[in-house]
Structure 1
Amino acid sequence: MKQLGRFFSAFFLALTLLASVSCASTQKHEATGEYVDDSIITSKVKAAILNEPGLNSAEINVETFKGIVQLSGFVSSRADINKAVKLTRDVGGVKSVNNDMKLK
């Protein structure tokens, strides 16, 4: 009877460890909380760009992974690029900005 109890204890311990490891983030995958945080950052950056007069938000793509924001798309001037990068850096939670925007 004791052996059966040990078996179940070991089984549940292994199951618990497996479950906790599977929820952890890796370099290429995010945990649920990280994904939600990145979604919020992306939304805030898009809102900041949308609310900025003179920037065409439809032509600027925003993606976030672990707090690193990537801006891509086409804009009319170097000033628009600089403005979008500055707005992005000012958003809370942004760790860094990768600028892949191009001039039309």
Structure 2
Amino acid sequence: MNAISRYLSATFLAVTLLTSVACSSTPKQEGTGEYVDDSVITTKVKAAIFNEPMLKSAEINVETFKGVVQLSGFVSSQSAANKAVEVVRGVGGVKSVKNDMRIK
């Protein structure tokens, strides 16, 4: 019985370690939980941009990686770009904002 118990314990420990390593993040790849969190942040950011009257006609793309939001696309003026960054910084979960928007 003792050998079987040790074998099952070792197997359980190995499976647990493999599972936790497979779901963890690396500097260039998100873990499962982080991916879900970033999806939620992206959705909130898009809604906040859409709800801002000054930005409704803007063509802004949103990508999030580990809480860092990257804005790209086109806006009508520098003030619109500044407003977009300001709106995004106010969204919960956003760690920082990268502004790659262009004025058209």
Using the size of structure 2 for normalisation, the TM-score is 0.87
Deviations 1:23-62 (A, max 9, x none): 1111222222211211111111111111111214551001
State how many pairs are aligned: 104
CA distance in 1, matches of 2:102, 2:25: 32
Runs of 4+ in 1 over 6 A off after TM superposition: none
Q: Are residues 92 and 22 of structure 1, via their aligned partners in 2, closer, same or farther at CA, if it must alter by over 3 Å?
A: same
Tell me which amino acid in the other structure corresponds to 2:13. Answer: L
Question: Which aligned pairs between 1:4-43 and structure 2 lie closer than 5 A?
Answer: 4-43=4-43
Asked whether the 8 Å contact 1:56–1:75 carries over to 2, the reply is: no
2:99 match: 99
Paired-residue identity, %: 70
Aligned in 2, Cα 1:40/1:57: closer, same or farther, shift over 3 Å?
farther
Cα distance, 1:81 vs structure 2: 0.3
Give the letter aligned to residue 64 of structure 2: T
Runs of 5+ unmatched residues, structure 1: none
